[in-house]
Amino acid sequence: MAIVKNLRAIFAEVPTGYVEPGKHVTIDESQTIDPDKVQLDGGFLVKTLVLSIDPYMRGKMRDPSQKSYSPPFERGEPLYGYGIAVVLRSENSAIQTGDHLYCRTLRYEEYSVYKDASAFRALQNVGVPWTLYVGVLGMPGQTAYYGWKEYSAAQKGETVFVSTAGGAVGSLVVQLAKRDGLKVIASAGSDEKVAFARECGADVSFNYKVEDTNDILAREGGIDIYFDNVGGKQLESALEHAHDRARFIECGMASIYNNPEAYTPKNLMRIVQSELRVFGLLVFRLADKYQDEFFQVMPRLVKDGQIKFKEEIVYGLDKVGQAILDVGTGANSGKVVVIVSEE
């Protein structure tokens, strides 16, 4: 192999609203690499295969003065996040050439040399596409699974409301809830996603942009659990129609990520009135408790076709900016993954 370009997706500028590809995220083509000869200094060289595009990334594209659970991206440097890479060369005894590595802080560039192997895990593929390991078997699937197990206190016959139910996290929550014998009310922002949530087993599935969430939840007799990915108006509706001692699993608030002036619920007093329990969910904090169980249970179910999922695959590292925008606006129609290289 000779010297090749090494494309990198750079965090160039802090957006105030939606991400503009080419402005807030740029593609740098200036770097080159010689995969055969690049110095490893005891580290290892990987080629990026798959990059995950997730809503939380928008939260890291912020000014460093704003604190949050996860550090901000560094301006002028590549984005990083969940991804799969294959090892081309290694001077680290724990990492073998040909290994497929899973990483939550993979740099969004075509080739990388790393020294520290602690953020990487070699994957044993049960015979499904690698892309699933950043989707239904990756962080989004784990988020749904851990959150549901830890906080739902689900009882057969109860009713759960799931927002972004056509998405990577929500669609698995729908299926986990149905497997536990619950009634599922699902909301999504496009007819396609509404249809997918119904395919996943939702008893009621509606487009929150067309139908009124309050009307639906009132008609269906209220809820015992809300799995929240959006915050804002739908959270307000869920609070309004929560039964006594209902559980709220707060996974994300997509309605505010791109809108600093977003609507905030006015009826927090419902927490007192109905003795609600509201739990913030961070997937990586629950990994020690549930990850082994997850990898015992879920890859098999996926391989056996017992779990539905939807991927939207785009090709080429240069599509990262557009993909982040699509996830922000909801224009995507499945878990978005970027295939950087086919190996």
Contact positions vs its own copies (CB under 8 A): 68-69, 231, 235, 244, 250-253, 256, 264-266, 268-282, 285
Question: How far is the C-alpha of 40 from the C-alpha of 115, rounded, in Å?
Answer: 8
Least distance from its own copies to the Cβ atom of residue 200, Å: 23
Instruction: Take residue 273 and report the two structure tokens written for it.
Output: 């009135």
146, 138 contact by CB (below 8 A): no
290, 149 contact by CB (below 8 A): yes
Q: Which strand (E) or helix (H) includes residue 173? A: helix 168-179
Least distance from its own copies to the Cβ atom of residue 289, Å: 13
Least distance from its own copies to the Cβ atom of residue 272, Å: 5
C-alpha angle 30/31/37, rounded to 5°? 155
If the CB atoms of residues 46 and 139 are measured against its own copies, the closer one turns out to be: 139
If the CB atoms of residues 44 and 161 are measured against its own copies, the closer one turns out to be: 161
Least distance from its own copies to the Cβ atom of residue 33, Å: 36
If the CB atoms of residues 80 and 257 are measured against its own copies, the closer one turns out to be: 257
If the CB atoms of residues 143 and 171 are measured against its own copies, the closer one turns out to be: 143
Instruction: Take residue 295 and report the two structure tokens written for it.
Output: 């990898």
Least distance from its own copies to the Cβ atom of residue 8, Å: 28
Question: How far is the C-alpha of 40 from the C-alpha of 191, rounded, in Å?
Answer: 50
* Residue with the two structure tokens 């957006």: 15
If the CB atoms of residues 14 and 282 are measured against its own copies, the closer one turns out to be: 282
If the CB atoms of residues 6 and 229 are measured against its own copies, the closer one turns out to be: 229
Least distance from its own copies to the Cβ atom of residue 217, Å: 14
Q: Residue type at 290?
A: Y
DSSP symbols for 14-73: --SSS--BTTTEEEE---EE-TTT---TT-EEEEEEEEE--THHHHHSS-TTS--SSPPP
